[in-house]
A and B are shown apart, each in its own frame.
Chain A
Amino acid sequence: MVKEEIQTNNGVNVQYRRKRNKREMRHQLISFLLMIFLTLVAFFVVGYGDFSVWFVIPFILILASVQVGFQLYYFMHMSNKGHEAPALFIYSAVLVAFVTILAFITIIWI
């Protein structure tokens, strides 16, 4: 089969798109494997390792935020162009929620 250079409506080259899809697929696969690995690590730390609570809780929270990052950037395409507005709103919300939770655990519950 002969590969043709077809121009789509918005001027994006089909061959280029195929290449990009391939690359994205690879990224998704890698991050999928990483996420499974991180989940296993989290289970191991909680279930089998003999670590103190003061290590375990921050550690799995960090793993969780890494997973959220993978999810947003590789599976929900936030790394692609044109996602600046959602990113701005997500980070603003994270900031607001963080300040709220910080205030609640520092001046209300303790």
Chain B
Amino acid sequence: MNSYAQKRGFLATLWDYLTTVDHKKIAILYLVAGGFFFVLGGIEALLIRVQLAVPNNDFMSADMFNQVMTMHGTTMIFLAAMPLLFALMNAVLPLQIGARDVAFPFINALGFWLFLFGGIFLNLSWFLGGAPDAGWTSYASLSLASEGKRIDFYTLGLQISGFGTLMAGINFIVTIINMRTTGMTYMRMPMFTWTTFVACSLILFAFPPLTISIFFLIFDRLFGAQFFNVDMGGNTIIWEHLFWIFGHPEVYILVLPAFGIFSEVISTFSRKRLFGYASMVFATVLIGFLGFMVWAHHMFTTGLGPIANAIFAVATMAIAVPTGIKIFNWLLTMWGGSIKLTTPMLYAVAFIPSFVIGGVTGIMNAASVADYQYHDTYFVVGHFHYVILGGVVFAVLAGLHFYWPKMFGTMLNETLGKITFWLFLIGFHLTFFVQHFLGLMGMPRRTFTFLEGQGLETGNYISSIGSVLMAVASVILVINIIITSVKNKKVGNDPWGDGRTLEWSISSPPPYYNFKQLPLVRSIDAYWHEKMEGRKEMPPAEPLGDIHMPNPSFIPFMISFGLFIAAFGAMYRPDYSWGLPVLIGGLVITFGSMLVRSLKDDLGTYIKKEELDDDKGVKA
């Protein structure tokens, strides 16, 4: 019963993916869904740049601009960047620590479906009376004043997808703590595993504040509560605090895995051990801790007072120290290495100066007094796009090219990859570098148009041209993916030739049980170590035996679908009588599915030893 060899119909494949609990397939689901939302958010970005290309433009109305701008931010952060990182984590992380699956395969699938249904719910707002329009931060006084259902799509959609993110994070934490193979000590874990571990811990601590603040907003808007209503004794500032207690760590949730991907890429293509591994680990953990003590730097102009502002300013600047440690470590890893400038490596090299620019403008923003000048201008827009595009998107693109063979067994075309890279890099700097100066000249953030003769025309025009270059780069990437998939030329275990960690010691893509025998890890960069000792494969840590695998399940889909239905009920309950029954019905589906899961024993299946012997070409 080798399910890989069988040719399957479309419906069978679809059912396979709807019920899968295999981390490698969930990675592909995350990649497809995250890629879709990335394109959606990209189109919204292009619409913004079209509107702002020339002064006094009437390409779209101010109201439409607010919706597009809000959805661009929300989609890119919650529905594109995080899922794309989860795609890479799911694809690589269990392989990197030598595990056959994640700790909770069922929860893993549930996390994906919750994210997807939350994302779909949020985007259905376009067809059902308008999208959220209070900015991705959705400050309470603004969102309570927003009419119609727009903000309810934001709150309910993000709540559902937020549950999914929280579950995915917990799953990875437990996986890393419990599922490491023999010899894989904490200080032998690959850097991507370490950064994922810290990022998921941040998810664990940062998402509950978001969940609470969104619940407050849901109750305020739909169930008559007054948490943020100042007239009724509420406090609108609480939203800002809770949101940023989540929001600042969120930046690290995104950027730490990005750091991890770059550490792997730089070390692989410099063909050197990562310089200062222990200090990298230390810096990652320190960034994680400090990330929770700086949130008010987003609120310097709220009126917290000089003492609070000073404390949060100093704490923020302290983060530059561990980040600087990392930058120097990457530079010193490349120093003296025999560097191969592949596409992933190009992204990694370009990331360093881009991210440093984002970091330096971050320190400028952290100076609370100067921040009064920058606050809510395009300077801030330039800053965080340097951090998130120059850090996270570059990392996702680097990781996509780097791990593509491990996920699909084929290599993306290097020439097209390099064309994508150069267009994207030039477009990125054209778009966002001028935005710093636009901000310093006084162009406010989130403005839907600007006037002639204020010196803002040239900068905005350049910015819009840059965004077109990035769009062209993305199209070439898609063409590259299509060409590669059509050619379908399979590659071996270690297609880059310089793989250092366990994932490169098994076939691409790996068999569904990953490792026939769990590998024995004897050093950091375990696979590289064995190669240097003259071996071709990892030594096994266990005798060949039966392998326990979880059964596929449709329940994660049903649990998420129930919440999706319930969200519609909750949203329309104040206006229509059918709202309440739909709300209850949705919850019944969700909790009923949970009940079925709890009462029905599902002990999984065993792959028999004899079956493993038949599977050729898959060792250790």
Chain A residues packing against B (C-beta within 8 Å):
85, 89, 92-93, 95-96, 99-100, 103-104, 106-108
Structural contact, B241 and A108, CB atoms closer than 8 A: yes
Structural contact, A92 and B201, CB atoms closer than 8 A: yes
Structural contact, B292 and A99, CB atoms closer than 8 A: yes
Complex alpha-carbon distance, A11 and B209, angstroms:
45
Structural contact, B305 and A108, CB atoms closer than 8 A: no
Structural contact, B293 and A108, CB atoms closer than 8 A: no
Q: In the complex, which residues 298-320 of chain B have their Cβ closer than 8 Å to any Cβ of chain A?
A: 304-305, 308
For B238, the closest partner residue in chain A by CB is A108
Q: For residue A85, which residues in chain B have a CB less than 8 angstroms away from its CB?
A: 177
Complex alpha-carbon distance, A96 and B209, angstroms:
11
**Highest count of chain B CB atoms <10 Å: which of A99, A106, A107, A108:** A107
- Assess whether B204 is interfacial by the CB under 8 Å rule: yes
Complex alpha-carbon distance, A108 and B235, angstroms:
9
Complex alpha-carbon distance, A98 and B43, angstroms:
42
Complex alpha-carbon distance, A93 and B208, angstroms:
11
Complex alpha-carbon distance, A93 and B296, angstroms:
19
Q: For residue B496, which residues in chain A have a CB less than 8 angstroms away from its CB?
A: none
Which 7 pairs show the lowest CB-CB distances between chains A and B?
Answer: A107-B308, A96-B292, A96-B205, A85-B177, A107-B304, A99-B293, A108-B237
Minimum CB–CB distance from A17 to chain B (whole Å) comes to 24
Q: For residue B289, which residues in chain A have a CB less than 8 angstroms away from its CB?
A: 92, 95
Q: For residue B296, which residues in chain A have a CB less than 8 angstroms away from its CB?
A: 103, 107
Structural contact, A92 and B205, CB atoms closer than 8 A: yes
Query: What are 13 A-B interface contacts by the 8 Å CB criterion?
Result: A89-B201, A92-B201, A92-B205, A93-B205, A95-B289, A96-B292, A103-B308, A104-B241, A107-B305, A107-B308, A108-B235, A108-B237, A108-B238
For A100, the closest partner residue in chain B by CB is B245
Q: For residue B241, which residues in chain A have a CB less than 8 angstroms away from its CB?
A: 103-104, 108
Chain B residues packing against A (C-beta within 8 Å):
177, 201, 204-205, 209, 235, 237-238, 241, 245, 289, 292-293, 296, 304-305, 308
Minimum CB–CB distance from A89 to chain B (whole Å) comes to 7
Complex alpha-carbon distance, A108 and B177, angstroms:
38
For B174, the closest partner residue in chain A by CB is A85
Minimum CB–CB distance from B299 to chain A (whole Å) comes to 10
Q: For residue B238, which residues in chain A have a CB less than 8 angstroms away from its CB?
A: 104, 108
Complex alpha-carbon distance, A106 and B307, angstroms:
11
Given contacts A100-B209, A104-B241, 9 further A-B contacts (CB under 8 A): A85-B177, A89-B201, A89-B204, A92-B289, A95-B289, A95-B292, A96-B205, A103-B296, A106-B308
Complex alpha-carbon distance, A107 and B240, angstroms:
13
Q: For residue B305, which residues in chain A have a CB less than 8 angstroms away from its CB?
A: 107
**Highest count of chain B CB atoms <10 Å: which of A89, A93, A96, A100:** A96
Minimum CB–CB distance from A81 to chain B (whole Å) comes to 15
Complex alpha-carbon distance, A108 and B239, angstroms:
11
Q: For residue A95, which residues in chain B have a CB less than 8 angstroms away from its CB?
A: 289, 292
Q: For residue A99, which residues in chain B have a CB less than 8 angstroms away from its CB?
A: 292-293
Q: For residue B204, which residues in chain A have a CB less than 8 angstroms away from its CB?
A: 89
Complex alpha-carbon distance, A55 and B238, angstroms:
29
Q: For residue B205, which residues in chain A have a CB less than 8 angstroms away from its CB?
A: 92-93, 96
Q: For residue A93, which residues in chain B have a CB less than 8 angstroms away from its CB?
A: 205
Complex alpha-carbon distance, A96 and B203, angstroms:
13
Complex alpha-carbon distance, A30 and B393, angstroms:
57
Minimum CB–CB distance from B244 to chain A (whole Å) comes to 11
For A97, the closest partner residue in chain B by CB is B205
For B308, the closest partner residue in chain A by CB is A107
Complex alpha-carbon distance, A83 and B308, angstroms:
36
Complex alpha-carbon distance, A21 and B205, angstroms:
35
Minimum CB–CB distance from B101 to chain A (whole Å) comes to 20
Complex alpha-carbon distance, A109 and B158, angstroms:
28
For B288, the closest partner residue in chain A by CB is A92
Complex alpha-carbon distance, A108 and B228, angstroms:
13
Q: For residue A107, which residues in chain B have a CB less than 8 angstroms away from its CB?
A: 296, 304-305, 308
Q: For residue A108, which residues in chain B have a CB less than 8 angstroms away from its CB?
A: 235, 237-238, 241
Complex alpha-carbon distance, A108 and B205, angstroms:
21
For B293, the closest partner residue in chain A by CB is A99
Complex alpha-carbon distance, A95 and B209, angstroms:
14
Complex alpha-carbon distance, A95 and B241, angstroms:
17
Q: For residue B209, which residues in chain A have a CB less than 8 angstroms away from its CB?
A: 100
Complex alpha-carbon distance, A105 and B306, angstroms:
17
Minimum CB–CB distance from B324 to chain A (whole Å) comes to 24
Minimum CB–CB distance from B70 to chain A (whole Å) comes to 26
Minimum CB–CB distance from B534 to chain A (whole Å) comes to 36
Minimum CB–CB distance from A104 to chain B (whole Å) comes to 7
Complex alpha-carbon distance, A21 and B102, angstroms:
34
For A93, the closest partner residue in chain B by CB is B205
Minimum CB–CB distance from A44 to chain B (whole Å) comes to 35
Q: For residue A104, which residues in chain B have a CB less than 8 angstroms away from its CB?
A: 238, 241
For B206, the closest partner residue in chain A by CB is A96
Complex alpha-carbon distance, A99 and B294, angstroms:
10
Complex alpha-carbon distance, A104 and B369, angstroms:
22
Complex alpha-carbon distance, A48 and B238, angstroms:
38
Complex alpha-carbon distance, A103 and B308, angstroms:
9
Minimum CB–CB distance from B12 to chain A (whole Å) comes to 41
Minimum CB–CB distance from A86 to chain B (whole Å) comes to 9
Minimum CB–CB distance from A88 to chain B (whole Å) comes to 9
Complex alpha-carbon distance, A104 and B293, angstroms:
13
Minimum CB–CB distance from B3 to chain A (whole Å) comes to 35
Q: For residue B245, which residues in chain A have a CB less than 8 angstroms away from its CB?
A: 100
Complex alpha-carbon distance, A89 and B209, angstroms:
17
Minimum CB–CB distance from B44 to chain A (whole Å) comes to 33
Complex alpha-carbon distance, A99 and B177, angstroms:
26
Complex alpha-carbon distance, A93 and B293, angstroms:
13
Complex alpha-carbon distance, A108 and B292, angstroms:
17
Q: For residue A89, which residues in chain B have a CB less than 8 angstroms away from its CB?
A: 201, 204
Complex alpha-carbon distance, A93 and B249, angstroms:
14
Q: For residue B308, which residues in chain A have a CB less than 8 angstroms away from its CB?
A: 103, 106-107
Complex alpha-carbon distance, A85 and B178, angstroms:
10
Minimum CB–CB distance from B50 to chain A (whole Å) comes to 41
Minimum CB–CB distance from A45 to chain B (whole Å) comes to 32
Minimum CB–CB distance from B188 to chain A (whole Å) comes to 17
For A86, the closest partner residue in chain B by CB is B177
Complex alpha-carbon distance, A104 and B235, angstroms:
12
Complex alpha-carbon distance, A108 and B305, angstroms:
11
Minimum CB–CB distance from B154 to chain A (whole Å) comes to 23
Minimum CB–CB distance from B605 to chain A (whole Å) comes to 25
